[in-house]
Amino acid sequence: MASAPKRFKVRGKPGLPGSWGHTGSYGIRDRPHGSFPFTACFHPQAAVESGAQGKSSADPLCGFLAWCGQAGVELNPKVRLSREGAVAGYGMLAAEELEAGEVLFTIPRTALLSQHTTSIHAVLQEAQESLQSQSGWVPLLLALLHEYTASSSHWQPYFSLWQDFRSLDHPMFWPQEERTRLLQGTGIPEAVDKDLANIHLEYTTIILPFMETHPDIFDPKVHTLELYKELVAFVMAYSFQEPLEEEEEDEKGPNPPMMVPVADILNHVANHNANLEYSPHCLRMVTTQPVGKGQEIFNTYGQMANWQLLHMYGFAEPYPGNTHDTADIQMVTLRRAALQRAKSEAQQQLVSEQWDFLCQLEMVGEEGAFVIGWDEVLTEEELSVTLKVLCMSEEEFKEYKEQDGWEDDSEEEENSTLSNEALSRLKTPCKKLLYDSVQLTLESYGADLKAEQDLLNNKEAYKKLSRREQQALHVRYGQKRILHQLLELLQ
């Protein structure tokens, strides 16, 4: 039985096409037992690490915890919030041993900051048609612009945890020269360029006109493009998007982002030990495994490669911590490799026709990428079909075109599964084409794998690097390791 080719999937970047977003793809369960009333069990000062350098009650964390109590947040007394002991910024640590399945905190939906809970929700609701955008973030960003700059805002204790959003140190805040120098080949500079262009377009075409019609709420001299960019970074790094139920996925677009106080304090690692769960009236953070006393509690931002973590959150996981790391091979790189091996004008013409046909099948695109993970190709169908078509003879391609890219299910299944073991068994022409494409990809970086390895192994030299240089090194090194592993499989 034959089946039609599936639709092409260019590698997704959360949020705006080509970049923004923080999605929380977390499961939904019934409310577990054992949550702890914040006000009954817990004084705000107790949530702060004891002996934290003699901080006074003016500590923003203490003020935030007091706000949490008033907002109905229920916090387990077996956890504490602190800067000390956390891998970055604030974090949550276990004050006592925790078992799997323990509720760490419960947040009523009324405590979330979104377009529906902001003090200007009625104004946003009335203008919802004019606030539609590619990102889908405009209503939340307008809410943040207002609440962040309104001294009487209900959310000021929450915002006090972030004195300067630029401290998030997203690559969008790096000088362009530094961004290019440190991140060449990783895909991040291109993603940032798209972000900045989209931010400017959204601000000038949607935000400014809206502010001009509501001068009693907004002032362009206060609510500037620069502040808007900083709030985009804030939403990138700290917002959540509630996952859709399975039956809703084909019927509606993604839920709008929202800010989730307390939940956004938890840091991320791939091997996390807690998970955010959603229910109709509240959200809960629940442990997924036992946590020892003094250990940090980590949430997950999803299965994200290091380039995505640095691009969207301002950090990367050191090798080999990120088991979800990936490397990209640009789709056009395969075309370039195929054209380079074509020995005649007729063969080059055949490659061009094959590429055009792959575009018609929506298997490739000019801005798409094949995504390579540690254990398998994540865009396996796209890469499998592309290799097959670009390695066809003129007669084979003519027959394939006549079938409109259809093939037997058994043959399609065999050719579309690209685990590491399957990659090593590719036919020789496909191996050679993919090998050449990997080599071309590696040439796009500024340094080779050995130079990066030597730098990581030299502790003294590594310590002298700036934080940005260290984070960029982790991104480059992980990608190059994956690409070199692929070369070995193809030899």
Q: Does some domain include residue 482? A: yes
Q: Which pLDDT tens digit goes with each residue over 351-392?
A: 999 999 999 999 999 999 999 999 999 999 999 999 999 999
CA distances from 262 to 32, 157, 158, 276, 431 (A): 18, 12, 9, 11, 49
Q: Which pLDDT tens digit goes with each residue over 206-249?
A: 999 999 999 999 999 999 999 999 999 999 999 999 998 877 77
Place of tokens 């190059």: 480
Distance from C-alpha of 341 to C-alpha of 289, rounded to nearest angstrom: 52
Distance from C-alpha of 472 to C-alpha of 195, rounded to nearest angstrom: 19
Which pLDDT score, from 0 to 100, does residue 55 have?
36
Whether 128 and 244 map to the same domain: the answer is yes
Q: Does some domain include residue 308? A: no
Whether 144 and 229 map to the same domain: the answer is yes
CA distances from 179 to 199, 281, 467 (A): 18, 43, 13
Whether 397 and 371 map to the same domain: the answer is yes
CA dihedral (369, 370, 375, 376) positive or negative = positive
N- to C-terminal Cα separation, the chain: 35
Q: Which pLDDT tens digit goes with each residue over 77-89?
A: 999 999 998 898 8
* Span 145-160, average pLDDT: 96
Sheet strands side by side (includes 74-75): 74-75, 103-108, 282-287, 274-278
Here the tokens at position 131 are 């606030």
The answer for 319, left when phi > 0, alpha when psi is -120 to 50, beta otherwise, is beta
Taking a C-beta distance cutoff of 8 angstroms, is the pair 100, 290 a contact? yes
> pLDDT band at residue 164, thresholds of 50, 70 and 90?
confident
Whether 151 and 204 map to the same domain: the answer is yes
Taking a C-beta distance cutoff of 8 angstroms, is the pair 47, 75 a contact? yes
Q: Is pLDDT of 415 > 60? A: no
Q: Does some domain include residue 6? A: no
Whether 267 and 172 map to the same domain: the answer is no
Taking a C-beta distance cutoff of 8 angstroms, is the pair 191, 369 a contact? no
Q: Which pLDDT tens digit goes with each residue over 5-37?
A: 332 333 333 333 233 333 322 122 222 222 222
Distance from C-alpha of 265 to C-alpha of 39, rounded to nearest angstrom: 20
Which pLDDT score, from 0 to 100, does residue 302 have?
87
Enclosing domain of residue 350: 325-490
Whether 331 and 407 map to the same domain: the answer is yes
Which pLDDT score, from 0 to 100, does residue 416 have?
54
Contacts of 65 (CB under 8 A, 6+ apart): 44, 45, 47, 48, 75, 81
Whether 342 and 389 map to the same domain: the answer is yes
Whether 244 and 370 map to the same domain: the answer is no
> pLDDT band at residue 58, thresholds of 50, 70 and 90?
low
CA angle (291 as vertex; 267, 286 as ends), nearest 5: 65
* DSSP conformation letters of 169-207: --GGGS-HHHHHHHHTTSSHHHHHHHHHHHHHHHIIIII
Which pLDDT score, from 0 to 100, does residue 253 have?
83
Taking a C-beta distance cutoff of 8 angstroms, is the pair 112, 260 a contact? yes
Whether 59 and 79 map to the same domain: the answer is yes
Q: What is the CATH number of the domain that holds 358?
A: 3.90.1420.10
Q: Does some domain include residue 19? A: no
Strands (E), 109-154: none
Here the tokens at position 3 are 């089946």
Whether 125 and 225 map to the same domain: the answer is yes
Distance from C-alpha of 332 to C-alpha of 355, rounded to nearest angstrom: 9
Distance from C-alpha of 379 to C-alpha of 369, rounded to nearest angstrom: 8
Q: Does some domain include residue 311? A: no
Distance from the Cα of residue 77 to its chain's centroid: 31
Which pLDDT score, from 0 to 100, does residue 408 have?
57
Q: Does some domain include residue 481? A: yes
Residue 209: strand, helix, or coil: helix
> What mean pLDDT, rounded, does the chain reach?
87
Q: What is the CATH number of the domain that holds 238?
A: 3.90.1410.10
Whether 126 and 206 map to the same domain: the answer is yes
Number of domains in the chain: 3
Whether 125 and 107 map to the same domain: the answer is no
> pLDDT band at residue 407, thresholds of 50, 70 and 90?
low
pTM for the model stands at 0.85
